[in-house]
Amino acid sequence: MSLSPGTKLGPYEIQALLGAGGMGEVYRANDKRLDRMVAIKVLPSHLSSDRDRIQRFEREARTISSLNHPHICALYDVGTQSSVTFLVMEFLQGETLADRLQRGALPIREALKIGKEIADALSKAHCLGIVHRDLKPGNIMLTKSGAKLMDFGLAKPAAPVLGVAASAADPLTPSKPTVTLASLASPQTQKGEILGTFRYMSPEQLQGRDADGRSDIFAFGAVLYEMATGKRAFEGKSQLSVASAILEKEPQPVSSLQKASPPALDHLIATCLAKNPDGAGACPCGPESPSRSPGRNVRRGACLRCSARVLAAMAAVCVTCEDRVLHLSS
């Protein structure tokens, strides 16, 4: 569905198309009541016609509208008009992190600054029980006031990639495949947009488990790695090879690619990218430190309370690393 300039959705007047994707089209619009610029996301008709999906979407939208953080794109309103369901969001000027990464790695100090802002925003969301579910460079906007997280999983189906929800008898094994091996083996040129999200999925998501706070932490580590090195943490020519890398391989340490990178950053990223989301033992719901030696039993956070604390600790590590880089460069 395309809206022409001048189309009105309640008090909002469409001005121009900003972009389009699988989850709908985004427009620049003017809020006639407050005379301010906003961004409006129009949901696809196959979502707008599902009453149950709309009710869940509206409940989630109300929850996300409570997120008040300088590094989270604000959600102002949600509405439906003539079978068109839409979101009204803060209008952001700048470029996405994905666009910035087209020009290569960020300076280590800048990458750490953005990393702290992302971790702070995710920690705030997790404290309120909200999981992003789709953290990637394309959902991070770089503005004059800093990084802004966008698209907190609004109206996104929770279907797993390699299977339906894992069975209780075997929580790590998908009970039924939903994507064929042929589709996973498709080349990047044919499935570029899908691979763009696929590369930041956690091992447990690929194994058919629901995304939670620990999945956000994994994606955060992958994004931080890419900012610091200019390379993706997990490479492959197809979805199948990328999935294999996520499940089995470890990325090359940042310090081996960037001499200015402090050793603590390697530990931070390795903790984020730990293959096992639970680590050893039960969730302690206590403070976690990302400075421990990384390994297969490192915990990313076993519940949203833990993941919020992990992310807060990671934000602090980013500050420490940034200070270290500044000291070395002065």
Catalytic pick among 134, 151, 212, 216? 134
Terminal Cα-to-Cα distance of the chain (whole angstroms): 54
Whether residue 50 lies in the annotated active site: no
With contact defined as beta carbons under 8 Å apart, do 114 and 126 qualify? Answer: no
What amino acid is encoded at 41 in this protein?
K
Integer Cα distance of 289 and 281 in angstroms: 16
Which tokens is 281 given? 């033992």
Beta strands 140-143 and 95-96, pairing class: antiparallel
CA angle at residue 114 from 112 to 119, to 5 degrees? 90
Integer Cα distance of 83 and 311 in angstroms: 39
DSSP string, 131-156: --S--SGGGEEEETTEEEE---STT-
What amino acid is encoded at 55 in this protein?
Q
Residues tagged active-site: 134
